[in-house]
Amino acid sequence: MTVARNESDLTIGLALRAAAVKECRSLQRSLALKKQRHENIHRARKSCRRLRSLLAFVAPPPTRQVAALDNALRQLLRGFSGLRDAHIAKRTAKSLASAHEARLTPALLDALRNHSTKLLRDALKADPDWRRKRSKVERLTTKLQSLPWQDVTPSQIKEVIGHSAKRVRKARKKAMDERTPDAFHRWRRRARKLRYELELASKARRAASMKNARSKRYAERAKKLLLVTDRLGWRQDFQVFLQTLDALADTCADAAALSHALKRKSSDLSSQTALSTLKGKALRAYVAQDSSHLGR
């Protein structure tokens, strides 16, 4: 029995290692492509988040080596935050224009587009074709492959998922109590991390030919969390849009005017978009269930 368990543990560890290598390749590919920069920035950030989720399985609590790799991935994510926010603000402007008849003038749309374009141009000037970032990812890939993936056990994965589920419940309660942008954003981040962990664990278990029941349960929970994070996403996009309007207020009068108008109606807009959606069937089903079983 001991031998069989060890063989199974080694197999799932190698499956996670393969997933990490795949994400590193995806990250490199996203950074190398010169077309559709913003879409590939989004893909690169998703790869960084998945890699951070995979790292959580290696050594809970994290070793110094794992913590250093996690920090490096977090820095890569943050390096693209401003570019991503500017793109989201431009995209959200179009959604608001149709959904809420917000007064988005040609001058404002131009300002949002120029803001996004300038940030991307300046970033590429400082790091042409993301060469420095790509070199960093090459080094990260080598270090990630050398981690003791073979030591990862199913119980370790279960422990990590259970811990993340508790953090999601805590963040959800705080968000529903406080109703602040920061609290909702924290809930979304933690729910997204748990979703990635569930997805990766489910795929690794299947690749390791482990029991299908738990793999299926993990995948089902991940799908429910995807619905939640998608709905919470609009709320965060709206906050990013407001912050961008404030950043442009000094140079664009229309940005200042719209920012003032939207802030007066922010409670209405929030309830009509994010909060009303959060009261939909998908979230009710998720909140109604006791998510403590996610780690089981």
Q: What is the pLDDT of residues 65-89, one digit of tens each?
A: 999 999 999 999 999 999 999 999 9
Domain 2-288, architecture per CATH = Alpha solenoid (1.40)
DSSP secondary structure letter of residue 127 = S
Residues 2-49: pLDDT tens digits?
333 444 445 899 999 999 999 999 999 999 999 999 999 999 999 999
Structure tokens at 3: 């031998």
The model's confidence at residue 234, banded by pLDDT at 50, 70 and 90, is confident
Rounded Cα distance, 87 and 123, in Å? 14
Quick: pLDDT tens for 118-159: 999 999 999 999 999 999 999 999 999 999 999 999 999 999
User: Please, which pLDDT band fits residue 100 given cuts at 50, 70 and 90?
Assistant: low
CA distance 124 to 127: 5
pLDDT at 102 over 90: no
Q: What angle do CA 175, 177, 182 make, to 5 degrees?
A: 35
Coil vs helix vs strand at 62: coil
pLDDT band with cut points at 50, 70 and 90 for residue 290? very low
Half-sphere exposure (CA, 13 Å, Cβ side) for 260? 7
The pTM (predicted TM-score) of the whole model is 0.85
The predicted pLDDT at position 104 comes to 84
Q: Is the peptide bond before 181 cis (omega within 30 degrees of 0)?
A: no
